[in-house]
RNA sequence: GGGGCGGUAGCUCAAUUGGUUAGAGUACCGGCCUGUCGAGCCGGUUGUUGCGGGUUCGAGUCCCGUCCGCCUCGCCA
C-alpha cells in the first residue's frame, strides 16, 4: 500500500517540490480530456487537488486517474507544485496541487445511495442520511461536529481533573426505580422473570459515591429514557455528570459556572458573560418559562387584579377560580402584527393549554380591535401597569397560573422570532434557582417532584416540607443558555429522615421506599456528607455551539422518532432460543423477516 | 395516545380537473475537450409512484387501512 506521508489538509505553497503521498476519498473529478484530469481528494483534514497531467504523469497513472469516480478510495504519490491555474480560495490547500506520479486504487465504490459533499448533501432526506450514516459522516460539516464534540469532552475531562474530580464509571445494568421517566428494561437470564433497568441517569450511584468518600466525581455517561423524542432530545443521550461533597449551592454554582463560561470561551470562542441567578418564580412571572431566554426583553406582567375588574368572562372566570391573567406589551405591535399573525400566536397559546389569546391594540390613546371593549374600563390602569405607548399591542395569557404564564411565554418566543428581536450570535446564560419542591398532579392526585426525589428542600423552607409542600422551595438549579436547559442539579438530601419524608409526600409508603430505594436510604444512614451536583446535557452543548436545533446532527449514530437505528436496523427480533433462555414468551409471534 | 407535514428514478424534485408512453436536474455509463474547481458540451441506462385494499372506462392524483420519516402536544423525576 502507498502509505500516506501527510493529510489532504496539510500542503501549502512553501512545500512546492516535495514528494508526498495522500490517501482519501475522491470528492469530485473533473475530466478535461485525454490528458488532463483533476480530482479533489478528501480526508478528515481537508481536500487537495490532484492533477493527472499527460505531460507530467506516467501513462498508466493517467489512465487510472481518468477512471476515478466520486467516493473511490485511493492513495496518490506525487509532487506538490504551485497551481498552473488560478488558486482556489475555497480550499486551505487552494494554492497548490499534487501532480500524480503513482496511484493505488484501494477501493472503488459501489453505486452510491447518497453523496457526502456538503453542497449536494444539504437537500438529502434525513432518512437516507441515517440509513447510510458511514457516507453522511464523511461530510466536512459532520466531521467538524464530531471533532467539536471531542474537544468538548476533552476540555471537560481536563477541567474537572484539574479541579480534583475523579472520573468514575457507574453500572448500566441497574435496578428499576419508580418515579421519573419510563425505564428501558433488560431481562435477567440467571433470574428469569427479573429485570434490570438501564439508567435514566447515574443519580443514585453518584450520591452513593459521595457517601463512599469520593468527594468529587465526574463521568461522561449515556442516559436512557424510554420517552417520545423531540428535535432536541432522544431516548439515548449523553450527560456530563458531576457531584461534590461538603458543598452548598453557591459552591456548586460557582465551579459549574466557571466550567460553562470557560468551555464556551475556550472551545466555542463564545463570550457567555456572567451567569446571573433568577428565581423560578421570577422566571415564570416575567418570562413565562422556567428556562427564560434573556437575549431579548419582552417581559410579562401580572394583571390578574386589574383584569378581575372587567366584565370579560374569560378574565373573570380565570380570576374567580384562582387563576391568573398575564399581559405582554409588544412595542410597535399594533402596526407590525396583523390579524393573521396574532391568530397564529393564538394557536400557539392554545397548544399550551390556553383557551385563546386575547389581543388589543393601543393607538391614539384608545384601545382598538380584539377585546378592546372589554378592557376599556381598565384602560388607565393597564396603560400604567404596562407602560403602554402609542402603537403598542398587548397580548393576554389567561388560565391557571402555569397555563397563563407558559402559554404567553411560548407566544413571547414566537413574537420575538417574528419581529426578529433575537440578536444573531449572542449567547446569554443564567442559573434558574429556588424551584418548587413539588407540583400537584391532578390525575394521580399526589405531589410529584419538580426536580427529582433526592433534591433537598432549601434549609429555610425545611419547616414547610410537610406543612405546606406546595410552597416548599428546593435547592434545585438549572443552567439555561439562550432559552435552552443545558444543565441542572441540586443539593441532595443527605438525611435519611428527610429523604423518607419526601418519599412519603410522593406517595411512596415506608415499605415501598425501603423496597425501591433501600440501598440509598441505607447509605444515607451510614455517614453521608452533604453533597450536590449537576448534570450537563452534552448533546445540547454541542448543538448550541454548532448552531443546530437537531440533536441527531450531533450524535454519530442517532435514533429516529420511533427509536430505530436505520443503519443497523435496531431494534430487531430476538432468536426464539434467546427468549426461551430468558423465560420470555411473546404473546404474538414476531415475524423476524419483517421489512419496512 | 392526540394533532400536523411528507413518501414518485440511487438522490433532489415536477406531473393541470382523475386522462396518451410518469418527466427534469444530478449521480452513474459512453463520447468530446490541456487549467478545471458545483467544470462544460453531446448521447444513454435507471420507476412495484412506500405497502394493501376500494371507487372508476381509466388512479401518482380520490377514499379506507397500514408502514416509514420529520415536527409537535401529552410524556421527558
Asked whether residue A511's C-beta has any atom of DNA/RNA strand B within 7 A, the reply is no
Within 7 Å of a protein beta carbon, the nucleotides of strand B are 1, 10-13, 26-29, 32-40, 67-77
Task: State CA A128 to chain mean position distance.
Answer: 23
- Among protein residues, the one whose C-alpha sits closest to the C1' atom of B10 is A113
Which strand (E) or helix (H) includes residue A186?
A: strand A185-187
Contact A489, A532 (CB under 8 A): yes
- Top CATH class of A296-418 equals alpha beta
Q: Which residue is nearest to nucleotide B12 (CA to C1')?
A: A123
Q: Domain A143-278+429-555: which CATH class? A: alpha beta
Mean per-residue pLDDT for A416-439?
Answer: 95
Distance between the alpha carbon (CA) of A111 and the C1' atom of B28, Å? 7
Say which residue the cell 425501603 belongs to: A514
The nucleotide minimizing the C1' distance to residue A114's CA is B11
CA of A278, C1' of B21: distance in angstroms: 69
pLDDT for residue A112 is more than 50:
yes
Question: How far apart, in whole angstroms, are the C-alpha atoms of residue A69 and residue A60?
Answer: 17
d(CA A143, CA A484): 25
Q: Calculate the angstrom distance between C1' of B46 and CA of A113.
A: 13
Transcribe A553-582 into DSSP letters: GGSSS---TTS-BTTTTBS-PPPHHHHHHH
Query: What is the distance in angstroms measured between the alpha-carbon CA of A515 and the sugar C1' of B71?
Result: 41
Would the Cβ of A3 be found within 7 angstroms of any atom in strand B? no
pLDDT at A230 over 70: yes
- Read off the pLDDT of residues A383-427 as tens digits, 9 standing for 90 and up: 999 999 999 999 999 999 999 999 999 999 999 999 999 999 999
> From the Cβ of A176, is strand B under 7 Å away?
no
Which nucleotide shows the minimum CA-to-C1' distance to residue A120?
Answer: B38
Q: What is the predicted pLDDT for the residue at A9? A: 96
Beta carbon of A418 within 7 Å of strand B?
Answer: no
Phi then psi dihedrals of residue A513, to 5 deg:
-60, -45
Averaged pLDDT, A326-330: 97
**Which tens digit of pLDDT belongs to each residue from A2-34?**
999 999 999 999 999 999 999 999 999 999 988
Query: Of A210-214, A217-221, A355-359, A508-512, which gets the smallest average pLDDT?
Result: A508-512
Determine the 3-state secondary structure of A467 from DSSP: helix
Question: Residue A72 CB closer than 7 angstroms to strand B?
Answer: no
Mean pLDDT, to the nearest integer, of A577-583? Answer: 92
Average pLDDT over residues A166-181: 93
Please report the pLDDT score of residue A244 as a whole number: 98
Whole-angstrom distance, CA of residue A55 vs CA of residue A100: 11
A 558-587: CB within 7 Å of strand B: 560-562, 564, 566
Average pLDDT, rounded, for chain A: 94
Task: Give residue limits of the domains in chain A.
Answer: 13-107, 143-278+429-555, 296-418
> Whole-angstrom Cα distance, residue A172 to residue A202?
9
Q: What is A13-107's CATH topology? A: OB fold (Dihydrolipoamide Acetyltransferase, E2P) (2.40.50)
Tell me whether domains A13-107 and A143-278+429-555 share a fold.
no
Question: Using CA atoms, how far apart are residues A24 and A2, in angstroms rounded to an integer?
Answer: 12
Q: What's the pLDDT band for A594 if we cut at 50, 70, 90?
A: very low
ipTM at complex level = 0.94
pLDDT above 60 (res A70): yes
Best CA proximity match to A307, nearest among A381, A394, A236, A392: A381
Distance between the alpha carbon (CA) of A54 and the C1' atom of B15, Å: 47
What span, in angstroms and rounded, lies between the C-alpha atoms of A434 and A474? Answer: 6
Q: What angle in degrees, to the nearest 10, is found between the helix axes of A249-266 and A140-162?
A: 140
Q: How far is the CA of A12 from the C1' of B46 (A)?
A: 42
| Nucleic chain B contacts, protein chain A, residues 286-345, CB cut-off 7 A | none
Residue A54's nearest nucleotide, by CA–C1', is B34
% of chain A exceeding 90 in pLDDT: 91
Burial A195-216 (b: 16+ CB within 10 A, else e): ebbbbbbbbbbbbbbbbbebbb
Distance A368 CA to B11 C1' (A): 53
Q: Which of A153, A200, A210 is nearest to A172 (CA)?
A: A200
Check whether residue A214 has its CB closer than 7 Å to nucleic acid strand B. no
Band (pLDDT 50/70/90 cuts) for residue A589 is low
Three cell numbers, residue A150: 471531542
- Closest nucleotide relative to residue A438's CA, C1' based: B77
Give CA–CA dist A263/A13, Å, rounded: 35
Instruction: Name the residue among A103, A115, A109 with its Cα closest to residue A62.
Output: A103
Q: What is the pLDDT of residue A593?
A: 41
CA–C1' nearest nucleotide, residue A47: B37
What confidence tier does A240 reach under pLDDT thresholds 50, 70, 90?
Answer: very high
Length of chain A: 596
Nucleic strand B under 7 Å from the C-beta of A105 = no
**Strand nucleotide closest to residue A113 (CA to C1'):** B10
Per-residue pLDDT band at A595 (split at 50, 70, 90): very low
> Alpha-carbon torsion A66, A70, A76, A78, what sign?
positive
Measured CA to C1', the nucleotide nearest A443 is B74
DSSP secondary structure string, A28-53? EEEE-STTEEEEEEEETTEEEEEEEE
Q: In the structure, how far is the CA atom of residue A345 from the C1' atom of nucleotide B3, in angstroms?
A: 17
Reduced to 3 states (helix: H, G, I; strand: E, B; else coil), residue A347 is helix
Amino acid at each position: 500500500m502507498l502509505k500516506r506521508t501527510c493529510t489532504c489538509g496539510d500542503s501549502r505553497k512553501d512545500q512546492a517540490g516535495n514528494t508526498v503521498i495522500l490517501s482519501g476519498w475522491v470528492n469530485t473529478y473533473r475530466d478535461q480530456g485525454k490528458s488532463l484530469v483533476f480530482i479533489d481528494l478528501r480526508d478528515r483534514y481537508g481536500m487537495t487537488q490532484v492533477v493527472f497531467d499527460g505531460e507530467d504523469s506516467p501513462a498508466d497513472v493517467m489512465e487510472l486517474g481518468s477512471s476515478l469516480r466520486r467516493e473511490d478510495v485511493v492513495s496518490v504519490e506525487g509532487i506538490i507544485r504551485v497551481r498552473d491555474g488560478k488558486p482556489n480560495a475555497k480550499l486551505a490547500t487552494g494554492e497548490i496541487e499534487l501532480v500524480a506520479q503513482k496511484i493505488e486504487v484501494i477501493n472503488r465504490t459501489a453505486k452510491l445511495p447518497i453523496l457526502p459533499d456538503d453542497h449536494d448533501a444539504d437537500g438529502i432526506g434525513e432518512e437516507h442520511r441515517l440509513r447510510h450514516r458511514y457516507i453522511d459522516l464523511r461530510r466536512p460539516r459532520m466531521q467538524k461536529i464530531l471533532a467539536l464534540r471531542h474537544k468538548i469532552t476533552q476540555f471537560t475531562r481536563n477541567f474537572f481533573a484539574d479541579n480534583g474530580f475523579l472520573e468514575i464509571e457507574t453500572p448500566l445494568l441497574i435496578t428499576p426505580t419508580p418515579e421519573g421517566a419510563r425505564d428501558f428494561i433488560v431481562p435477567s437470564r440467571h433470574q428469569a422473570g427479573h429485570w434490570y433497568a438501564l439508567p435514566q441517569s447515574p443519580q443514585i450511584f453518584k450520591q452513593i459515591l459521595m457517601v463512599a468518600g469520593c468527594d468529587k466525581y465526574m463521568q461522561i455517561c449515556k442516559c436512557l429514557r424510554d420517552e417520545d423524542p423531540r428535535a432536541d432530545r432522544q431516548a439515548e443521550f449523553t450527560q456530563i455528570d458531576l457531584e461534590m461533597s461538603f458543598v452548598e449551592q453557591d459552591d456548586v454554582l460557582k465551579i459549574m459556572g466557571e466550567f460553562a463560561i470557560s468551555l464556551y470561551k475556550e472551545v466555542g470562542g463564545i463570550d457567555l458573560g456572567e451567569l446571573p441567578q433568577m428565581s423560578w418564580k421570577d422566571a415564570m412571572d416575567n418570562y413565562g418559562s422556567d428556562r427564560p431566554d434573556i437575549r431579548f426583553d419582552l417581559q410579562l406582567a401580572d394583571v390578574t387584579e386589574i383584569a378581575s375588574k372587567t366584565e370579560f368572562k374569560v378574565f373573570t372566570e380565570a380570576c374567580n377560580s384562582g387563576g391568573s391573567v398575564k399581559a405582554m406589551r409588544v412595542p410597535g405591535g399594533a402596526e407590525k402584527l396583523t390579524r393573521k399573525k396574532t391568530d397564529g400566536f393564538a394557536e400557539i397559546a392554545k397548544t399550551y393549554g390556553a383557551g385563546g389569546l386575547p389581543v388589543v391594540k393601543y393607538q391614539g390613546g384608545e384601545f382598538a380591535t380584539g377585546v378592546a371593549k372589554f378592557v376599556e374600563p381598565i384602560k388607565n390602569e393597564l396603560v400604567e401597569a404596562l407602560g403602554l405607548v402609542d402603537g403598542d399591542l398587548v397580548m393576554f395569557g389567561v388560565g391557571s397560573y402555569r397555563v397563563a404564564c407558559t402559554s404567553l411565554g411560548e407566544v413571547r418566543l414566537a413574537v420575538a422570532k417574528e419581529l426578529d428581536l433575537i440578536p444573531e450570535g449572542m449567547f446569554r446564560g443564567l442559573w434558574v434557582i429556588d424551584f418548587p419542591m413539588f407540583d400537584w398532579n391532578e390525575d394521580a392526585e399526589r405531589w410529584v417532584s419538580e426536580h427529582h426525589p433526592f433534591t433537598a428542600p432549601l434549609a429555610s423552607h425545611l419547616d414547610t416540607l410537610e406543612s405546606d409542600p406546595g410552597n416548599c422551595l428546593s435547592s434545585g438549579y438549572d443552567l439555561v443558555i439562550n432559552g435552552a436547559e443545558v444543565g441542572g442539579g441540586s443539593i441532595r438530601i443527605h438525611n435519611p429522615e428527610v429523604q423518607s419524608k419526601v418519599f412519603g409526600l410522593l406517595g411512596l409508603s415506608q415499605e415501598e421506599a425501603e423496597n425501591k430505594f433501600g440501598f440509598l436510604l441505607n447509605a444515607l444512614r451510614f455517614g453521608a456528607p452533604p453533597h450536590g451536583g449537576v448534570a450537563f446535557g452534552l448533546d445540547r452543548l454541542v448543538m448550541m455551539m454548532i448552531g443546530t436545533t437537531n440533536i441527531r446532527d450531533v450524535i454519530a449514530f442517532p435514533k429516529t422518532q420511533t427509536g430505530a437505528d436505520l443503519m443497523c436496523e435496531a431494534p430487531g427480533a430476538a432468536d426464539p432460543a434467546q427468549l426461551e433462555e430468558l423465560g420470555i414468551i411473546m404473546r404474538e409471534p414476531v415475524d423476524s423477516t419483517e421489512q419496512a
